[in-house]
Structure 1
Amino acid sequence: MSSRLPDFPAQGGHIQMPERAISVVAGLALAAVAAQPRPNKILSILALGAGIFLAYRGATGYCPARAALDV
């Protein structure tokens, strides 16, 4: 079965399971809070984007920021 997820480089950027779980939960919570109607639409959009990034990071186990920093 082929994976539809992109192939990430083998070096750097990979996160371990506890950090992945925290990232998914925090990302989904942040996205849910951001989806509520707020007076400041720009902050809601930024929070939604951050939540989506955290959820993606946790789901895939790959962090582009960590890979860029070579951590």
Structure 2
Amino acid sequence: MANEMIHDIFSGEPNLSTTERAVSVALGLGIAAAAAQPRPNKWLSLAALVVGVGLALRGSTGHCAIKAASQHL
């Protein structure tokens, strides 16, 4: 199951522009770095880390599954 999920994330046609990719990577890394700072609420830090990594992956692969799904509606 995990292998299928990883394949789905990293496969697929790139559907993001260069600007969208750059913004996603920059925001993702910034959010992930901010999440790494010690905070009293560990769950909020974890959520920010997950969002940051997701954005960085979106930008680095150039593929957004949500954008691809919305284009097929």
- TM normalised by structure 2 equals 0.78
How many residues get paired? 64
- Counterpart of 1:29? 30
Structure 1 unaligned spans of 5+: none
1:7-60: CA deviation from partner (whole Å, max 9, x where unpaired)? 31x4xx710001100110000000000011100111100100000000000000
Identity rate of aligned residues, in percent?
Answer: 48
Letter in 1 for 2:30: A
More helix by share: 2
Give the superposition deviation at 1:68. Answer: 2.0
TM-score, length basis structure 1? 0.80
1:67 aligns with 68
One-letter amino acid of the counterpart of residue 41, structure 2: N
Q: How does 1:1-71 map to 2 (within 5 A)?
A: 6-8=10-12, 10=13, 14-70=15-71
RMSD: 1.9
Q: In structure 1, how many angstroms separate the alpha carbons of the residues matched to 2:31 and 2:10? A: 25
